Amino acid sequence: MFNLVRKITLGSLLVAVAAIANAQGNLYSLAAVPDIVKAKAAVVMHSESHRLEIEGPEKSVYKVHQVYTVLNESGKSALIFNETSSSLSTLTDVELRVIDANGKQVGKYKKKDMRTEAYGEGLIDDGYVTWYRVLTSNYPVTIDVEYTLKNKGTFFLPAYYFNTSETGVVSSDYTIVAPADMNIRYRNIRTSIQPVITTEGNAKTYRWAVNSLPPFEYEAGGSANTGYPHINFVADKFSYGGYPGDFSSWQNFGKWYYTLCAGLDKLTPEREGFFRNLVKDAPDDREKARLIYKYLQDNFRFVSIQLGIGGLRPMSAAFTDKQKYGDCKALSNFTKAALNAVGVKSYLAVINRNTNGEPADPAFPANTFNHVILCVPVGKDSVWLECTSTTADFATLETSTENRNAVVVNENGGFLVATPKSNYTSNFLGSHTTVKMQDDLSALTETHYYTRGEYAELMSEIYKQNRDDQKQLLVSYLGYKQPDDFLLVREDKHHTSLKQAVNKIPEFSSGDKLFITHRVQKIWSSRLPKSENRQQDFYFTYPFEKRDTTLFVLPAGTIIEVLPKTKTLESPYSSYEVSYRFDEPSTTVVVTSSLILRQHRIPVADFAAVKKFFDDVITDNSQKVVIRKGEAAPKKAF
């Protein structure tokens, strides 16, 4: 009897082990993956589970388990594990297993096997990133990874991103378990999936799930916030760094942030006296603000500081004043303190700094912010200050914070206020180039730039680079051919000069005719994505105005064979014009061009017309002036 039971038990155990092994084999098997999931995928997500356990406003635990196969080299970015942590969010457990194409485990790694490094600029930080790269050249390869984050608070709730451009999804789910009396809000972005909500005792469970999804068809140039389907989550009652808060309204959020920053906008009496003396001759509050902003730009530098209540609370104004550096919130807070010292009111404004990001939703108070700027009410208007920039003009924001809703914070709470809309005249690139072509067809060129806004920032960044990188940037960003030699001089924040030596100006010749491209730099060279079946509005990085005058001073006696005709192009949001004239006494061809993009956000209904416009501009880049060398006039001694 005992032997019979033993045989049955042993047989059952072998069947169970075989079943588990078979199930595990199926989990990693690509044969079982639906064709719709893997047909266009570089990565197949077999199984993905996110679980957020919220014990209360002060504590939450986030657990993730993913099993996915990287099919080929195109998916190699999925072979890198990386997760951030801080004093308020601890990465406690990581286990990463690597399985080869035969289902055999070929690697197993724990957190101790991975690299953990501080991030930021290193002056002050308590933020870390833990990462590990799986090295392989053999595909397919499967990754089975689990990790846990323990969070001191619920200010940040991880969003649910479940569908990207390279990953097909077999199965994915996200579960939130929270106290039943704790309100959890959610907002769908480019998806309509809804949770199954259940309540058991004092716990409320929300569960979202998706199955059999092909890779998402990403549209280049879409909004930075709405590119991929995802769901954002918010806990109305939260705590962060020991500071309890309320996210049920923007006003309540502002009250929390005001409390977080209270008392940090104080300078020493001596420094307050310094700033009063600095502005003593200023006729009004706007000029006082301008003088203090100039002092900030001339004497302080931006660093990334991830310290002080998880990177949310600024360093004190006195500390920042002494050190002469700070992050966005520290520099904004210092500027606020300096303005207070001279009797000018200003307010911290929390905002999402993200090129082509969407404004904060008035109906969905949520933590969508990563930046702080300063709002200075002056009369009936507001002056907005970007305190991290040393080159921005006074009262001018960068494109990354225009067209937004900022939460302006005062003692009464937070209030959504629209920042200024982008204006194409603010981003100006003006160039005047003289090309002196020699008899041997070489030339020395001299270009004088006048820039504003984003182009002034661009010129500043180019000038900071080493010579090799400058050369590459002249080609990739300003549209020049590779120069044989060059000299770039930054005269001031709006003026830059560029001298180049070019061995041969004509592009090619045919018989005795020489073909010269009508500008030494391309006024536009980026191909826009396809317009067919587009679903989203298209975003340029910023609207702009470009104006160029190029003078080709040709050798004496040169004959003009072909001088192109004036050309104009129009679209609903852009215009282009180029004109030509020949000054015979000086044998100079003058080419005058302009390109204007009046609005950076292009409604999807108009995108096809705008794409055609820029395609036509690129085509016009190849326009040629055709010349023939003539007999030079004899030189006279007197």
Residue 122's contacts (CB-CB under 8 Å, 6 or more residues apart) are none
pLDDT in tens, 388-420: 998 889 999 988 899 999 999 999 999 999 999
CA–CA dist 542, 600 (Å, integer): 5
Torsion of CA 462, 463, 469, 474, to 10 degrees: 60
> Residue 327 has what DSSP assignment?
-
CA–CA dist 486, 482 (Å, integer): 10
Work out the average pLDDT over 598-615.
96
Going by pLDDT thresholds of 50, 70 and 90, the confidence category of residue 626 is: very high
Going by pLDDT thresholds of 50, 70 and 90, the confidence category of residue 634 is: low
Residue 173, H or E segment: strand 167-179
Does the pLDDT at position 22 exceed 90? no
Other beta carbons within 10 Å of 300: 21
Other beta carbons within 10 Å of 571: 21
Nearest to 492 by CA among 465, 452, 454: 452
Going by pLDDT thresholds of 50, 70 and 90, the confidence category of residue 27 is: low
Work out the average pLDDT over 561-575.
96
Q: Count Cβ atoms within 10 A of the Cβ of residue 578 and give its class: 0-12 exposed, 13-18 middle, 19 or more buried.
A: buried
- Least confidently predicted of 157-171, 294-308, 438-452: 294-308
As a whole number, the mean pLDDT across the chain is: 91
What's the confidence (pLDDT) of residue 594? 98
Check if the beta carbon of residue 106 is closer than 8 Å to that of residue 97. Answer: no
What's the confidence (pLDDT) of residue 569? 98
* Residue that is written with structure tokens 């282009």 in the block: 576
CA–CA dist 408, 113 (Å, integer): 44
Beta partners for residue 585, in sequence order: none
CA–CA dist 173, 231 (Å, integer): 12
Percent of the residues in the chain that have a pLDDT greater than 70, as a whole number: 92
Does the pLDDT at position 308 exceed 80? no
Nearest to 227 by CA among 282, 176, 164: 164
pLDDT in tens, 197-224: 999 999 999 999 999 999 999 899 988 7
Does the pLDDT at position 578 exceed 80? yes
Work out the average pLDDT over 460-469.
93
Nearest to 189 by CA among 235, 233, 231: 231
Query: What tokens does 240 get?
Result: 């962060």
pLDDT in tens, 371-382: 999 999 998 889
CA–CA dist 32, 42 (Å, integer): 16
Percent of the residues in the chain that have a pLDDT greater than 90, as a whole number: 82
State which fold the 425-628 domain adopts: Jelly Rolls (2.60.120)
Nearest to 449 by CA among 395, 488, 392, 476: 488
pLDDT in tens, 75-127: 999 999 999 998 889 999 899 999 999 999 999 999 999 999 987 544 444 67
CA–CA dist 386, 293 (Å, integer): 9
Task: Bin 403: left if φ > 0, else alpha if -120 < ψ < 50, else beta.
Answer: left
Please give the full DSSP string across 216-238, using - where no structure is assigned. P---TT--SSSSS-EEEEEESEE
Going by pLDDT thresholds of 50, 70 and 90, the confidence category of residue 312 is: confident
Which of 17 and 445 is assigned the larger pLDDT? Answer: 445
CA–CA dist 341, 289 (Å, integer): 11
What's the confidence (pLDDT) of residue 44? 98
Does the pLDDT at position 5 exceed 50? no
Check if the beta carbon of residue 204 is closer than 8 Å to that of residue 198. Answer: yes
Other beta carbons within 10 Å of 535: 9
Q: Name the residue ranges covered by the structural domains of the chain.
A: 28-240, 249-421, 425-628
Work out the average pLDDT over 44-69.
97
What's the confidence (pLDDT) of residue 4? 34
CA dihedral over 360, 366, 371, 374, signed as positive or negative: positive
What's the confidence (pLDDT) of residue 632? 54
> What is the β-pairing status of strands 428-437 and 544-553?
parallel
Answer yes or no: CATH 2.60.40.3140 is held by domain 28-240.
Answer: yes
Residue 319, H or E segment: helix 317-323
Work out the average pLDDT over 513-527.
94
- Least confidently predicted of 91-105, 229-243, 622-636: 622-636
Does the pLDDT at position 13 exceed 70? no
CATH (residue range 249-421): 3.10.620.30
Side-chain half-sphere CA neighbours of 263 within 13 A: 2
> What is the separation of C-alpha 550 from the centre of its chain, rounded to a whole number of angstroms?
34
Label residues 401-421 b or e (16+ Cβ within 10 Å = b): bbbbbbbbbeeebbbbbebee
Does the pLDDT at position 618 exceed 50? yes
Other beta carbons within 10 Å of 609: 15
* Residue that is written with structure tokens 């993730």 in the block: 64
